[in-house]
Structure 1
Amino acid sequence: MTTELIHLTQWARQQPQAQYNALMGLLSHPEGLMDSFEAQPDNKAAGIDKVSKAEYAQGVEERIKALSAGLRSLNYRPQPVRRVYIPKGNGKQRPLGTPCFEDRIVQHRLSGILQAIWEPEFRNCSYGFRPYRNAHQALARLGEIVTNHNTQ
């Protein structure tokens, strides 16, 4: 997490009823977008634009500056998501959406901002859709509670 997001988290903890009205500045910050670029895995499938991380890395500084400018001016528009159908064991198919690489960068950045705001609000026992937590951990914790709980 970047320093600015740490400051946002601390501010959110101090003022739980605060309103957030300047998040586009955080979203369009070039250094944050570069951090989100670097956080992307190398082996993800390309979206509808057919651009991989290696291809996007060529001239990444200019691309990030253009993306930042597009976000600031509200001209940025996400591209359509590439839809692929994965066969399931029961003969049906499961849809899978693959966003383009630039959209992944923006999504990752926005996710970090929203996590910085909302993470202080969650209780430790909450597992749904939180970073580094999953359903298996929730079930394991539930098993501990059920097993160790004295019924009287």
Structure 2
Amino acid sequence: MTPSIAAAFPVLARLHAAAKQDSRLRFNNLLHPITEAMLERAYRALNRKAATGVDGLDWKSYGEQLAPKLKDLCDRLHGNRYRPQPVKRVWVPKDDGEERPIGITSLEDKIVQQALVWVLE
């Protein structure tokens, strides 16, 4: 866990300390420590110039009315109502003529994924 993330979100530092103290400790809900503030920081950490997601939203358009959107997202996470959208599979040509697959996710899914990375670190 990076020091700046631990300082910004003390709950993650407490979880990290508890896990280090007892390696047998089990966590049954990794979404619980995610807060609106963490989701906002995850949103701001995303690449602003990335292509639109499968939901048709880019960084700037999602940022309009950001606070209510993040509150709703946090409520869905904590209420077990959040469902990630299907990933769109796209094949990108390589220099040698072959193709490689990439997955395009929704912007909301990217936000949740980044927050979960911080929880898992």
Normalised by the shorter chain, which TM-score bucket? 0.7 to 0.9
Q: Which residue of 2 aligns with 1:26?
A: 33
Q: TM-score, normalised by structure 1?
A: 0.70
Residue number in structure 1 paired with 2:109: 103
Aligned to 1:124: none
Q: CA deviation at 1:66?
A: 0.5
Q: How many pairs are equivalent?
A: 114
Q: Which structure carries more relative contact order (alpha carbon 8 Å, separation 6+)?
A: 2
Q: Are 1:7 and 2:14 matched, yes or no?
A: yes
TM-score by length of 2: 0.86
| Residues 56-95 of structure 1 mapped to structure 2, 5 A cutoff | 56-95=62-101
For residues 89 and 30 of structure 2, what CA distance do their matches in structure 1 show?
30
Post-superposition Cα deviations, 1:82-102, rounded to whole Å, max 9, x if no partner, equal 222111122111111111100
Q: Partner letter of residue 23 of structure 2?
A: P
CA contact 1:47–1:81 (8 Å) conserved in 2: no
Does the 8 Å CA contact 2:31/2:116 hold for their aligned counterparts? no
Contact 1:26 / 1:113 at 8 angstroms: preserved in 2?
Answer: yes
The 2-side partners of 1:4 and 1:34 are apart by 16
User: Could you list the runs of 4 or more consecutive aligned residues of structure 1 that deviate by over 6 angstroms after TM superposition?
Assistant: none
Over the aligned positions, Cα root-mean-square deviation in angstroms equals 1.3
SS of the residue corresponding to residue 86 of structure 1 reads strand
Q: Equivalent pairs: percent with the same residue?
A: 32
Unaligned runs of 5+ in 1: 116-152
Bigger CA radius of gyration: 1
Equivalent residue runs for 1:18-57 within 5 Å: 18-27=25-34, 29-57=35-63
Structure 2 segments unaligned to the other structure (5+ residues): none
C-alpha separation between the residues in 1 aligned to 2:97 and 2:81?
42
Q: Distance in 1 between matches of 2:104 and 2:57?
A: 12
